[in-house]
Amino acid sequence: MGKKLKSLLIGNAIRSTDSESEKYSVLWGLPILSSDAISSVAYACEEILIVLLPVLGTASYGPLMRIAGAIIGLLLILTFSYRQTIDCYPHGGGSYSVASDNLGKVPGLVAAASLSIDYVMTVAVSVTSGTAAITSAFPELLPYHVQITLACIALLTLGNLRGIRESSHLFGVPTYLFIVSILVMIVIGLVKALIFHQVPQVNPGVVQTQAETVSVFLVLHAFSSGCTALTGVEAVSNGVPNFRKPSQKHAKSVLSLLALLVLLIFGGVCALAALYHVPHKANITVVAQIAINIFGQNSVMFFVIQFTTALILIMAANTAFADLPMLLSLLAKDGFVARGFASRGARLSFSGGIILLFIVSSVLVVVFRGDTHLLIPLYSVGVFISFTLSQGGMFKRWVTRKEGKWRHKALINGLGAVTTAVTCIIVAANKFFDGAWLVLILIPLLVILMLHIRRHYDRVRDDLSIPENGSEMVLSRPTENYIVLPVQSINKSFVKALNYAMTLGGVIEIYHISTDNARTEHLKEQYQELHVDFPLVIEEAPYRNVNEVLLRHVDRRQKELQEHQMLTVVLPQFVIKNWWHNALHNQTSLRLKSHMIRMRNVAVITIPYIIQE
C-alpha cells in the first residue's frame, strides 16, 4: 500500500538507462535554473529604493539607475566568468568543484557550505514571500499563512521528487508567464513614457528633500541591497550534467539567456521606476505601482502582473530544489556528507537531498513563524562567498596552467573574483548585525562537520579494504564453531533450530535461563525425551532479566574463544503472519541481535518458524 501511494504521488520508477530523456532542454531548463535570479527583480529594485528614497527623495532616481548599471555590470562579468567555468567543468562546475579543484579541500567546502545555507534560505524566504503576496490579496487566509507556506514547499518537494523532466514542465510554465507579462509591461511602459511622455512630473508620494551630496556609504548600502538580483546565477554551471547533450553548449545558452532576461527585466523595472518617479509604500510593491501607473488600478494586466509575481516568488525556490541536491550528490561522492545523498531515487532525482531541503526549510518556516524580515538578513552573504571562491579558483587555474588564451581568461575571472569579493564584504558588513553573523558562524561549523564525516569514511574504508595479499585472508577461516542455542521451552521452533545447528558442524551448547523452578524442571524432562546428547547449561536469573543474562553469557563465551574460533548464537524465532498478534508474544530476538552484533566474533542466526493461522 505504501508502494502504491508512492507511485501515485511521484509516479512509477524510471529505469537507470532512461536517464538521458530525463534531462533539461534549453526551453525547460531555463525557467528552472533562472527562476531564482528572475524572481529577485520583483524586489531588487525596491530594495535599492528603500535605501535611497528616505535620504535623497526626488533625487534618488539618478543614483538608482547608476547602481542598477553597476549590478548589471557585475552580472555581465559573472556571466562571462561562468561561461568559462562551464567550458572547463563538463561534469558540473559549481563553486564547490571549482574551488576544491583549484584552491584546495577547505575552500571548496567553504563554498559548498555557504551555497547550501543560501539555498535553504532561498526556499524559506521565497516561498514565504510568495505566500505573503497571496495573503495580501486574500486577507482571510492570513491566519493560515504558515500552513500555506508549508503546503507550497511540500508541493515543490513532490514535483521535484517526480523527476527533473516533470518538475521542469510543472514549474516552467509560471516562470514563462511572469517573464512574458513583465516584458510586455516594460515595453508598453517605456513606449508610453519615452514616446508619448505620459508620465507624472512629480509623484506626490516622494519627499522633496534638499539635494544632498550622495554619500559613498549610502550608495554601497543600496548596492548591497540590490545584489539579491544576482543570487541564482551559480545554478546553471552547477547543473551542467543535467542538460541534454551537448550539455556544455546547452548550459552556456541557458546562462546567456538568463543574463539577458535579468538585464532586461531588472534594468527595465529600474528604468520605469525612475521614469514614473515611483515612491516606496509599505503595502504595495514597486512593480505593482508601476503596473497601476501603466495599466490602471483595476485593469486585467495589473492583476496578471500581481498573480504571476506571487507565482514566480514561489517558483524561485525551485532553483534551490534543482541545485542543492546536485551539490549534495557531489559532496556525497567525495564522502563529505552521508553517501545516501549520492544515489538517485525511483524517479532518478536525488531524493535524499530534496527531502532534506524540504525538512530543513519547513523547520525554518515554522521556527520563524513564516516571517521574512527575520530570514532575509541571513540571505545572500553565502552566495557571494561562493561566487568569490569560484571566480578565484578559475583565476588560479588560468594562472597556473597557462593554457590557450589564459591571460584574457584570467583577466575576466580575476575581475569577477575581485568584484564579487568586494561585494561580499559590502553585503556582509551591511547585514552583519542583522543576522549575517549567524551565517559566518554556521559556515565553519558545517565545514568541520563535513571534514569529520570524510575522516569517518576514510577510516571505515581503510579498515575494510583488503591488503595486497588479499587471497590469503580467505584461508584464515575459523576452524571451529562454538554454537549457543538458547531455549525457553521445548517446541517445534526449538527443534527446527536444533536441527539447523546440528548441520553447522561445531560444538553445540543448549542454554536455558531459569526464572521459575517448576518450568525448568519440566523443560529438563522434555529435553531428555528428545534423546540428544548436547549439554544443557542452566543459569538462574534471580532478577528475571532474561535478556541481560543471555547477553552476559554470550559475551563470556565469546571471550573464551580460541584464535580462529567463532561463536554462533542460533535464535529460534517464530513468525506470525498477522502483525497485531505479534503484540501477544514477547519477541526479543531482534533486540537481542542488535546487541550481540556489537560483539566481535559472534555470528547470529535466526531460524524462523512460521505459525500456521
Site for a copy of itself in 401-440 (CB under 8 A): none
- Please enumerate in sequence order all residues whose Cβ is within 8 A of that of 69, keeping only pairs 6 or more positions apart, or say none: none
Select the residue interacting with a copy of itself from 4, 373, 477, 556 (CB under 8 A): 477
Least CB distance to a copy of itself at residue 481 (A): 6
Task: Provide the minimum distance between the beta carbon of 437 and a copy of itself in the complex, in angstroms, as a whole number.
Answer: 28
C-alpha cell at 218: 549610502
Identify which of residues 339 and 401 has a Cβ nearer to a copy of itself in the complex.
Answer: 339
Distance CA 329, CA 470 (A): 31
Q: Using an 8 Å Cβ cutoff, are 13 and 22 in contact?
A: no
Closer to a copy of itself by CB, 233 or 332: give it: 332
User: Does 609 help bind a copy of itself (rule: CB under 8 A)?
Assistant: yes
Cis peptide before 325 (omega within 30 of 0): no
Q: How far is the CB of 27 from a copy of itself (least distance, A)?
A: 28
If binding is defined by CB under 8 A, does position 456 make contact with a copy of itself?
Answer: yes
Question: Is residue 198 close enough to count as binding a copy of itself by CB under 8 A?
Answer: no
Q: Is 505 a residue that touches a copy of itself (CB under 8 A)?
A: yes
Binding segment toward a copy of itself, per CB under 8 A, in 57-65, 109-117, 307-315, 498-506: 498-506
**Residue 96 C-beta-side C-alpha neighbours within 13 Å:** 25
Kindly state the smallest distance separating residue 238's Cβ from a copy of itself, in Å. Answer: 22
Helix/strand/coil for 384: helix
Stretch that binds a copy of itself, among 21-29, 60-68, 74-82, 578-586 (CB under 8 A): 578-586
179 half-sphere exposure, CB direction, 13 A CA radius: 22
Give least dist CB 596 to a copy of itself, A: 8
The span of 65-73, 235-243, 256-264, 455-463 binding a copy of itself (CB under 8 A) equals 455-463
The answer to the question of residue 613 lying near a copy of itself (CB under 8 A) is yes
Helix (H) or strand (E) holding 567: strand 565-575
Quick note: the x/- pattern for a copy of itself over 329-358, rule CB under 8 A, is ---------xxx--xxxx------------
Q: Are 535 and 507 in contact, with CB atoms under 8 Å apart?
A: no
**Nearest-angstrom CA–CA distance, 189 and 185:** 6
C-alpha distances in angstroms, 243 versus 105, 148, 247, 331, 454? Answer: 27, 32, 5, 20, 29
Q: Is 460 in the site for a copy of itself (CB under 8 A)?
A: yes
21 binds a copy of itself (CB under 8 A): no
Helix residue ranges, H only, 227-299: 234-238, 247-275, 286-295
109 binds a copy of itself (CB under 8 A): no
Helices in 465-545 by DSSP H: which ranges? 492-503, 517-529
Q: Based on CB atoms, which residue is closest to a copy of itself, 138 or 543?
A: 543
Residue closer to a copy of itself, measured from CB, 368 or 527: 527
Binders in 535-554 for a copy of itself, by CB under 8 A: 542-545
466 binds a copy of itself, rule: CB under 8 A: yes
Counting residues that bind a copy of itself (by CB under 8 A) gives 83
Q: Return the ∠ at Cα 348 (arms to 343 and 351), rounded to 5°.
A: 55
Query: Is 603 an interacting residue with respect to a copy of itself (CB under 8 A)?
Result: yes
Q: Determine phi and psi for 298, rounding to 5 degrees.
A: -110, 20
Determine if 11 is a binding residue for a copy of itself (CB under 8 A).
Answer: no
Phi, psi of 282 (to 5 degrees): -65, -40
For residue 581, state whether it binds a copy of itself (rule: CB under 8 A): yes
CB 251, CB 236: distance < 8 Å: yes
Is 213 a residue that touches a copy of itself (CB under 8 A)?
Answer: no
